[in-house]
Structure 1
Amino acid sequence: MMAAHKGSWTAKSRPLKGPLEVPFPAEKDWPEDNDADYVFKDPCQELESLPQPYRMIDKLVNLVFDQTWEAIEEREALREAERNRVQPTVYPPVAEIQLNKTPNCMAISQDYLFIGGAKGFSIYNLYNAKRIFVWEKFKVDVTSIWAMDLGNEMLIAPVDELGIVRLFYLYKDCLFLIKAINEAEDSSKQTTCIKMELAQGGDFAAFLIQGGGDVWLDVYKLPKDSWLKEVEHYQLAQNSKKKVGQLQLSMLGRITPDNLETDMNVCFKADIKLSFPVHIMKIKPPKPLTGTPFKSPLEAFAKIEDCHGLGSGQNHFIKDSQWEQQSDIFHTFYRKFLDTEGEEEQPLSLATFHFFLPSPIFAVPMEARSSFASGVACVLGVHWTGSHNFFLYSLNRTLKDKTDHEGVWPCAAPITVSQLSCSSSYLVLACEDGVLSLWDLAVGFCFGVVALPEGSVCESVYFLKYFLVHEGQNVYPKTPVKSQMSCVVLCTDASLYLVSAKGTQGPTVRVLVERPEKHLDEAICAVAPVRALPGMVLIFTRNGSISLMNVAKPEIVCAFAPPRPPHVTGPWKPTFLVSLQLPFFLLQGDCSDVTKSKSVEEAGDTRNSVFYFNFEAYPLLENLSKTSVTPPEDLSETLAFPEALPLERRCELLLRKSFQMLEKKQKQIQEHEHWSRLRRYSLLLQRDNRK
């Protein structure tokens, strides 16, 4: 502007000659800035110059944005993996049993389904899904129920919320109440049943009872033969009275034999009292080791009544001064690792127990062997929480006998899980350090000891019926096998392993499902073997999905889903039952149904269902269940698995093979002799021709 103003002033003072010249800009005309004070700054550092609290707000917004972006990327990667994953075929249930109330527990025996719920239990027919009996006379709900098949009759044992266990006897269409095991008239003296176990065949029962700050194990002998005689006598008396009444009515013309109708519903009989179970044993937890008042070893051994358990961690005789000295040494060395603020109250020790059939591994007295028939339990195995020892108690005793264990199996670490197979032939003892001990009870030796991978602790064990793989298909051997076992081990970190053992070979461990690292909703919460399908197990995950896995490959074969998916808000705890003989399983459905009408909502009723899944009804499993359960007749002999056959069968096959070889040799000798005769005859003919 100054230059233009100056030029215009020149034009007025002088006449213009030629075009106007624009001067070139010079450095002296630039604005004066202090270049020394200018510094190039990082764009990220510009935000640091913001005053508080805007600087903190900006950091929080960026943090939320970064976390949101990471969640979006993870979700997108999961969706991409789901799109690329081969989804298994999902099958719906084939039938639905509608219930009036929400079930808490289920049990199966013969053709009946027992469902425990509010104030009692119900009995349903599995074939037509019809309810045939309801017992709702309890004060509280039933939390667990047991059902044992005794042949033509059944033993039912429901346990309610107060911990009271009752025994019912079902014979044909009559239900009898035997006894309430731990019901007390005085509520202040009421005890609670924590756990129960019924022996195979229903000859014995054991109940873990808690009360008054103590825990003990009550063992009963069940007089099932007496029960059968008593109910048969009652049935004969009732039938004779019924026939007399029908005859009188028919004579009056009110009823004829053609219009007689049989009522298939179960009826309760309260006018007959069955024999009570006989209490034979009361087992208490092992006492902690304390000091002894004996002054010398000779005095201690002189007062010992027996030598049971010597060398197994029991019957120690140590002075109080020695215990105090060892305690002081321990606290001195490990003082920094001990919590000295305060000791928490130790919880009560609980027991896990099993009934064992006669076996060479158990020392049963000679006079007691005759009393135990084949298939009748003879020994009770018990281990307590935090104990290293597995105790064995003989069942051939009375309540007056002294309760002492006949044997002790010590382990290097406390036993956490023990599991007995359905056939009572195999036993697994799992310790808290991840070590498994496998026992063959039928033969009487230990398969071996195997350790799970580091960090895996056994939570539960499930036995599989031994199977073979033939032409890519799992099959059961035609003849029973011995010293061949396989089981599935579920660990606390939701990992799944297959443990197998065979004869004198060491046990092996194979990973079926690894522990979930990120997606915890896909963690396994329950496992159930399917005995009708060889090598198959049902897997239940926390997100509510159910899948069938082939442990031989391993791979997911298919999946199952009810018509109304369960609304899972936390870890899913499914209520299900898998049949041991037939190819089906039952699953409790979700009690909430969004499709129910307003009238039902106003009435306050909820729709509860038990869904029936039959493996033979699905195309993918139909042939598998039929061909695998009944293999060809000579399949076990043509499979080149001689170890899968018992010793007697192998000897028979060897003898048959030797006979076949002998017949073959004899045939070869006969053919050779016949050829020699022909040759001699031909030589004679040649000689005659020459002559």
Structure 2
Amino acid sequence: MALIIKSLGVDPPNYDELSDDEDDFVKDPSQFRAALPQPYRFVDEVLSLFIDEVWEEITFKENEKAVERAKVRPPKYECAVEMQEHTQTKALAASHDGRYLFIASSGELSILDASKKKVLYKHENEHLDLHTLICCIIGVEIYLLVGLDEQGVCHVFSSADEKIFEMKVLNEDVGDKFHVTKCQPSSDGDYLGLVAENPTNSDVMLEVYSFPRDSWLKEIEDIKAKLHQSDAPKLQEAVEPGLEEKETEEPSTLTTGEGEEEEVSGRKSVDSVESKKGYNFKFTAANLVMRQHRPDKLQANQGISPSAALKELSDPKLILGSGHGHLLTRPYIDIRQEAFDELHRDKVMYKLTESVESSHLECNFHFFTPGLAIPYGIEQPGALKKPTSIGVWWSGSCQFIYYSLTRPVKVKKTAGDSQDAELDIKPETVWPQASVISASAVSPDSALVAIGLTNGLVTVWDKYLCCVRKSVLISKLAITNLDFMEPSICPQFNNRQRSYPTTTSCYILVRCADSSLHLLNCGPLDNAPPITIANPSVDDDHVITAIDIFPAKCPEVILKVHKNGTMFLQDVISAKTLCEIALPTSHELTTPWQPVMSISAFGQMLYIKGSQRNEEESEKSASSLFVFQFRSFPALDSYWVKSRPTVPYLTASPIETRVAALLRQRVKTSGERQQRLQKRWPLMKQEAIKIAQIKSH
């Protein structure tokens, strides 16, 4: 070919002279086509670019799937035990001592031995339909149960001696006006917080009740003594003064393990289940100590002149940090608004005419023990473990507000209705944040507070010292969930320069909006970046919807639930997926976005609700309660034998301990100081001579 070209007198082009244009090359004459005219050529380029980007995205996802398939898959355990008698389970609550599991079903509330999977007692009430259940310990083997039903009414129960007593219905009188959407008691059962919503005007308020725990414990002990002394029929005939029974009961029916029924007296046999409508006694009433609506939005100063604006700042209701104490008057704000609209005239036309607010307003709160933020009770050793304040933040707000629960309040009653009484509560302090708050968490002893923002920032506060311990940017997306891990799994910093205990370190499990998981060390001297233990989900099916942390037996293990219903156990320290938990192939999780599950018996049992798979969505699928025994999982064998020391979340030594430690250290080092003085004194004479010589010159 080259010889033919040279014979024609045409020199072949050199490689250096070739153009970089991909279209500048010799083509087959049959492939020559006329260039497309505009605008078709522009459309062709856009489509080609779009196809290339889509193909790159497809290739990237296929490569990720290939890498995922090449990984070693964790073992899959399908060893669930079905409990067919609990087909209408709606809520589960495990006791913190690991002994019992409380099951809320349609028309009943049951006590289950968490280790033996055996029903001990059933409290029947045809009007009871709880969908939320929370348990806390208020005494020795005495439990407080708080639940919400489908109508937004809050019920309070107590459990003692393997029996359930219905105590209070808090908002039954105003149930038609306000529906409770959230309830949370304090860890020791002294207080209860309720978030109530008015369906008519979407008004949301927070109510806090003080429970007379000491009086309740005494009344429960009297009931227990009476039940042990008398049989059930005798108890119905003669009731102790002050313990009034609401209805007369028939002899209880006990169902044996073989399905037979027998009629017995008040004492139940060991191998039987007691099922009664329950004894309803009168207990001491709870006190409403706080009712708080959402704080008012920022408004202009009402003063018409600078002097009048300064007088507005003298209002005692203004709280530092709330943003209401400013000198911006309405005329000044209007002028600034006009200047802004004029400066951004080309963009103002796209601004919404009406402000769009969140349709669902949420209120989140936590109870706190005494600290330097609100020091009331910090000087009383007996009150250090009792809640004295509550921290509140509202959705869409950037303020974390503290209210005191111990100060006397003023009650303002409206004319005609005492139910509309407002409790005049003034915030004690306000912590303004750099962005809108999206998540919060408190350590079990309420010593540490973690606040997550929509800009991906996590701030950890030392509540006892009232100072910021750490502020770290985790992600560019919002923080959706925060959980404190056990301090025993976190390496502790040993300050050898101090002879008394110093601040401890612990991990915080952070979940972001892209379903990624991070482990943040909130130690004061740890500057390491957060550890990523789960990357963002590739598709919607693998989005993490729920996380449950194991108790003290396996504190570094978490249970993850994905949107597609799959469940995994993961070690947060090594970021290794230990195993997959699967229900029988005929069942699936009832609600993967909010599963009904509970880890009980010190992390040895997992109770979870599953529904039968139904191809036709119109048919209502049957549900059952399944049990997994974690002791039988080989992947967890190494965790059960580990010994972990007990480490508190906060080590705050009082001043007496610190002074005594410093005195002991000084006495211990007295010999070393004497040796240094003996070496120093002979040198002082020589130094004095040198100084005198220098001055003489």
TM-score w.r.t. structure 1 length? 0.70
1:261 to 1:489, Cα distance in 2 relative to 1, 3 A = closer
Which residue matches 2:406? 396
Pick from 499, 502, 506: which aligns with 2:520?
Answer: 499
Distance (Å, rounded) in 1 between the aligned partners of 2:29 and 2:122? 87
Which residue matches 1:181? 170
AA aligned opposite 1:104: K
Which residue matches 2:72? 86
- Is 1:112 the counterpart of 2:100? The answer is yes
Pick from 431, 434, 438: which aligns with 2:460?
Answer: 438
Deviation readout 1:203-256 (Å, 9 max, x if unpaired):
01110111142211101101111111122223334444439969xxxxxxxxx9
Matched residue of 2:642: which SS?
helix
Pick from 355, 364, 377: which aligns with 1:352?
Answer: 364
Alignment of 1:525-544 (within 5 A): 525-531=545-551, 532-544=553-565
Query: Is residue 167–residue 281 contact of structure 2 (8 Å, CA) maintained in 1?
Result: no
1:654 to 1:590, Cα distance in 2 relative to 1, 3 A = farther
Which residue matches 1:281? 290
Q: What is the CA distance between 1:405 and its match in structure 2?
A: 0.5
Query: Is residue 357–residue 424 contact of structure 1 (8 Å, CA) maintained in 2?
Result: yes
Matched residue of 1:436: which SS?
strand
> Which is greater in Rg?
1
Alignment of 1:109-508 (within 5 A): 109=95, 110=97, 111-135=99-123, 137=125, 139=127, 141-151=129-139, 152-184=141-173, 189-211=176-198, 212-213=200-201, 214-242=203-231, 261=269, 265=274, 267-296=276-305, 298-299=307-308, 302=311, 304-306=314-316, 309-316=319-326, 318-334=328-344, 336=347, 339-340=350-351, 342-343=353-354, 346=357, 347=359, 349-364=361-376, 370=380, 373-400=383-410, 402-453=424-475, 455-468=476-489, 482-506=503-527, 508=529
Distance (Å, rounded) in 1 between the aligned partners of 2:157 and 2:188? 16
In structure 2, runs of 5+ residues without a counterpart are 1-27, 37-51, 236-263, 412-423, 492-499, 672-697
Matched residue of 1:543: which SS?
coil
Query: Is residue 308–residue 406 contact of structure 1 (8 Å, CA) maintained in 2?
Result: no
Q: What is the CA distance between 1:353 and its match in structure 2?
A: 0.4
1:469 to 1:133, Cα distance in 2 relative to 1, 3 A = closer
1:268 to 1:276, Cα distance in 2 relative to 1, 3 A = farther
Query: Is residue 166–residue 280 contact of structure 2 (8 Å, CA) maintained in 1?
Result: no
Matched residue of 1:101: which SS?
coil
Which residue matches 1:53? none
Query: Is residue 609–residue 623 contact of structure 2 (8 Å, CA) maintained in 1?
Result: no
Q: What is the CA distance between 1:193 and its match in structure 2?
A: 0.9
Deviation readout 1:92-148 (Å, 9 max, x if unpaired):
446443344243321111422223333454332223323334445365742211111
AA aligned opposite 1:359: G
AA aligned opposite 1:227: W
Distance (Å, rounded) in 2 between the aligned partners of 1:294 and 1:645? 47
Q: What is the CA distance between 1:413 and its match in structure 2?
A: 1.3
Which residue matches 1:583? 603
Quick check: which one's helix share is greater? 1
Q: What is the CA distance between 1:395 and its match in structure 2?
A: 0.6
RMSD: 4.5
Distance (Å, rounded) in 2 between the aligned partners of 1:621 and 1:653? 45
AA aligned opposite 2:339: I
Distance (Å, rounded) in 1 between the aligned partners of 2:339 and 2:53? 51
Matched residue of 2:337: which SS?
helix
Matched residue of 1:627: which SS?
coil
Query: Is residue 463–residue 529 contact of structure 1 (8 Å, CA) maintained in 2?
Result: no
1:309 to 1:190, Cα distance in 2 relative to 1, 3 A = closer
AA aligned opposite 2:626: V
Which residue matches 1:7? none
Distance (Å, rounded) in 1 between the aligned partners of 2:621 and 2:530? 50
Q: What is the CA distance between 1:383 and its match in structure 2?
A: 0.9
Deviation readout 1:149-204 (Å, 9 max, x if unpaired):
2232111111112211111122223322222111237x7x4311121221111101
1:144 to 1:68, Cα distance in 2 relative to 1, 3 A = same
Which residue matches 1:619? 634
In structure 1, runs of 5+ residues without a counterpart are 1-38, 49-65, 247-255, 471-478, 596-602, 637-642, 663-691
- Is 1:511 the counterpart of 2:525? The answer is no
Which residue matches 2:415? none
Q: How many residues align?
A: 565
Query: Is residue 368–residue 389 contact of structure 2 (8 Å, CA) maintained in 1?
Result: yes
Q: What is the CA distance between 1:399 and its match in structure 2?
A: 4.8
AA aligned opposite 1:446: V
Distance (Å, rounded) in 1 between the aligned partners of 2:425 and 2:61? 61
Deviation readout 1:441-470 (Å, 9 max, x if unpaired):
2444321211123x3221101111124579
AA aligned opposite 1:350: E
AA aligned opposite 2:432: P
Q: What is the CA distance between 1:409 and its match in structure 2?
A: 0.8
1:292 to 1:202, Cα distance in 2 relative to 1, 3 A = same
Which residue matches 2:577? 556
Distance (Å, rounded) in 2 between the aligned partners of 1:604 and 1:312? 50
Matched residue of 2:196: which SS?
strand
1:245 to 1:157, Cα distance in 2 relative to 1, 3 A = closer
Query: Is residue 309–residue 408 contact of structure 1 (8 Å, CA) maintained in 2?
Result: yes
Matched residue of 1:232: which SS?
helix
1:395 to 1:93, Cα distance in 2 relative to 1, 3 A = farther
TM-score w.r.t. structure 2 length? 0.70
Query: Is residue 392–residue 407 contact of structure 1 (8 Å, CA) maintained in 2?
Result: yes
Which residue matches 1:98? 84
Q: What is the CA distance between 1:324 and its match in structure 2?
A: 2.5
1:260 to 1:145, Cα distance in 2 relative to 1, 3 A = closer
Query: Is residue 369–residue 387 contact of structure 2 (8 Å, CA) maintained in 1?
Result: yes
Matched residue of 2:231: which SS?
helix
Matched residue of 2:518: which SS?
strand
Distance (Å, rounded) in 2 between the aligned partners of 1:215 and 1:503? 38
Distance (Å, rounded) in 2 between the aligned partners of 1:240 and 1:409? 55
Matched residue of 2:89: which SS?
coil
Distance (Å, rounded) in 1 between the aligned partners of 2:288 and 2:158? 18
Query: Is residue 596–residue 608 contact of structure 2 (8 Å, CA) maintained in 1?
Result: yes
Matched residue of 1:623: which SS?
helix
Query: Is residue 136–residue 143 contact of structure 2 (8 Å, CA) maintained in 1?
Result: yes
Distance (Å, rounded) in 1 between the aligned partners of 2:146 and 2:403? 24
Distance (Å, rounded) in 1 between the aligned partners of 2:190 and 2:119? 29
Query: Is residue 449–residue 462 contact of structure 2 (8 Å, CA) maintained in 1?
Result: yes
